[in-house]
Amino acid sequence: MSTYNGVTDPRQCIAGDAPRSVGKVYLVGAGPGDPDLLTLKAARLIGDAKVVVYDHLVGQGVLALVNHSARLIYVGKESGNHSLPQDRINGLLVDLARTGLDVVRLKGGDPFMFGRGGEEMEELIGHGVDCEVVPGITAACGISACTGMPLTHRDHARSVVFTTGHLKDGSVNLDWPALARPNQTVVIYMGLGALDIICRELIAHGLPRDTPAAVVHAGTTSRQVTLTDRVDRLAASVRRAGLKSPALIMVGSVVSLHSLLTQAPHPEELALTA
């Protein structure tokens, strides 16, 4: 497996290949974890790739589809542990393409849904590198389907809001009045570390304390854990259960449909309801 830490030369990734002038970069959505949820185009590109630059949230089942002769370059980001800063990932993609190699940049979920795909595409276009986005099922859609919590429902939610649990500067200064509005579903990505603040601020800005809420760990995979509770008790319940990232937070009355509409869980799945 190749790394890119300032020592490994991107040109090592094309040994034996006749280089073109500039390759193409595909920003490919790997979906929420279950490889069966890949698009046909994503699966084809992954299987044909000579080099794959992949993130932390790309599931092992998806990586298993990579051609055995391809080079895998890990650039994942975990809380407090970034293998490469974003600007160096951008530079890596440009460098690889300039060797004449077509590159699959593999991202969990969808490249344009909190996946920094727009930043990478800007950098590639700015350096004259052809690129294409291959959409993936974002975590909210995959987890909604497999937990029986519809994102919208005429009796529960007329709209859905996707937001990140922290801003670029690391703060949790979100648009709380908008997130606390009634008759909607709020889906929060990357918010587990700020769950206490999120729940407190939602209630402080008018969300009823007994609003149903959920945290889903490793959604769509065999490691999935679904925890549901009232929003005022959610953070404490998550601490007791010991849930860790990756996890998605859902808030709204659609969560009350979980026990009614959920599909048969994976054998290893744990469902927790307070």
DSSP string of 121-188?
HHHHHHTT-EEEEE----HHHHHHHHHT--S-BTTTBSEEEEEESS-TTS-----HHHHT-SSEEEEE
How far apart are the C-alpha atoms of 164 and 187, rounded to whole Å?
8
Tally of CB atoms within 10 A around 160: 18
Which helix or strand (DSSP H or E) is residue 238 part of?
A: helix 234-241
Residue numbers annotated as active site: 55, 77
Q: What SS3 class is residue 38?
A: coil
Task: Considering only CA atoms, give the Rg of the chain.
Answer: 20
- Give me the sign of the Cα torsion angle 125, 132, 119, 61: negative
Instruction: Name, in order, each residue with C-beta under 8 angstroms of 232's C-beta and a sequence gap of 6 or more.
Output: 199, 203, 209, 210
DSSP structural state of residue 211:
-
Q: Output the six-digit token pair for 84.
A: 């490469």
